[in-house]
Amino acid sequence: MRGLEGDPRYLLLELDVRSDESARAAVADAVRELGRVDVLVNNAGVHLVAPLAEVPMEEFQQVFDTNVYGAMRLIHAVIPQMIEREQGTIVNVGSITALAPGPWAGVYSASKAALHALSDTLRLELKSFGINVMIVAPGGTKSNLGSNSTSKYVQIRDWKYYKKFEESLRARTDASQGPGSTPAEDLAKRVVALVLKKNPPAWFAYGQFSAILSLLYYAPLWFRDYFYKIVMKC
């Protein structure tokens, strides 16, 4: 990571969350060098903007392999030493979009919804071992995830059935990167402050669109569908 090389406060390790071997090796190296892992933050993720009917299955699998299975690989790797010490915190970074999935980002929203569900179960199953599990559900946040990955996908895709929605699809790629989006540094500082508490919260939602999507979660489905039809022009 830029700016961290050579800083004795950081141990930089190579990690591919899509690889069981890489996940185990990275955690083993961290434990060997530092003695333990107190906090695991599963923040690796990839986005995908595309109509579900035209998403190739290999790309569907890539999103889940990173966003869902990648998180579980790291969790499996750190759990043994956390259980042994009866101490630790796992932070899974989901998304506020999982509360009220709209059009064009169904694969991404589904992967984050799966991560939310897994986190809820883990929180209950690991509580008796003294391990905290926290879900972070960011709203629109300035990041490389939003600014790079999705726009490239839309630009190169030759839509067969959804060509007429190209403008709406393009708008979805930039939805989280507008003027009102939350700086990543702001979100990170707030998460760190919560993680360092004696009893971290189980849920933390913060950032642009958090309020409206939380409201849509409780709204009747007909209202949610109407809202997205007007806003997203689907």
Name the catalytic one among 108, 217, 226, 228: 108
Q: Bigger pLDDT: 149 or 144?
A: 144
Q: Domains in the chain, please, with CATH?
A: 20-26+37-232 (3.40.50.720)
- Of the pLDDT bands very low, low, confident and very high (cuts 50, 70, 90), residue 1 is low
- Of the pLDDT bands very low, low, confident and very high (cuts 50, 70, 90), residue 158 is confident
Q: Does the pLDDT value for residue 147 go beyond 80? A: no
- Of the pLDDT bands very low, low, confident and very high (cuts 50, 70, 90), residue 2 is low
Q: What mean pLDDT do residues 63-78 have?
A: 98
Q: What mean pLDDT do residues 159-176 have?
A: 83
228 given a catalytic annotation: no
- Of the pLDDT bands very low, low, confident and very high (cuts 50, 70, 90), residue 109 is very high
Q: Bigger pLDDT: 29 or 152?
A: 29
Q: What mean pLDDT do residues 144-159 have?
A: 59
Q: For residue 137, give Cα distances in angstroms to 119, 160, 187.
A: 12, 33, 10
pTM: 0.92
Q: For residue 113, count other CB atoms closer than 10 A to its CB.
A: 17
Q: Does the pLDDT value for residue 223 go beyond 70? A: yes
- Of the pLDDT bands very low, low, confident and very high (cuts 50, 70, 90), residue 146 is low
Average pLDDT over the chain, rounded to an integer: 91
CA distance 142 to 187: 10
Q: Does the pLDDT value for residue 125 go beyond 70? A: yes
String of DSSP letters for the chain:
-TTTTT-TT-------TT-HHHHHHHHHHHHHHHS---EEEE-------S-GGG--HHHHHHHHIIIIIHHHHHHHHHHHHHHHHT-EEEEEE--GGGTS--TT-HHHHHHHHHHHHHHHHHHHHHGGGTEEEEEEEE-BB-SHIIIIIHHHHHHH---SS-GGGHHHHHHHHTGGGSTTPBPHHHHHHHHHHHHTSSS--SEEEESBTHHHHHHHHHS-HHHHHHHHHHHH--
Q: Tell me what percent of the residues of the chain surpass a pLDDT of 70.
A: 92
String of DSSP letters for 105-134:
-HHHHHHHHHHHHHHHHHHHHHGGGTEEEE
Complete edge-to-edge strand list for the sheet that includes strand 203-206: 39-42, 88-93, 131-138, 203-206
Q: Does the pLDDT value for residue 144 go beyond 90? A: no
The pLDDT, as a whole number, for residue 156 is 52
- Of the pLDDT bands very low, low, confident and very high (cuts 50, 70, 90), residue 226 is very high
Q: Does the pLDDT value for residue 148 go beyond 70? A: no
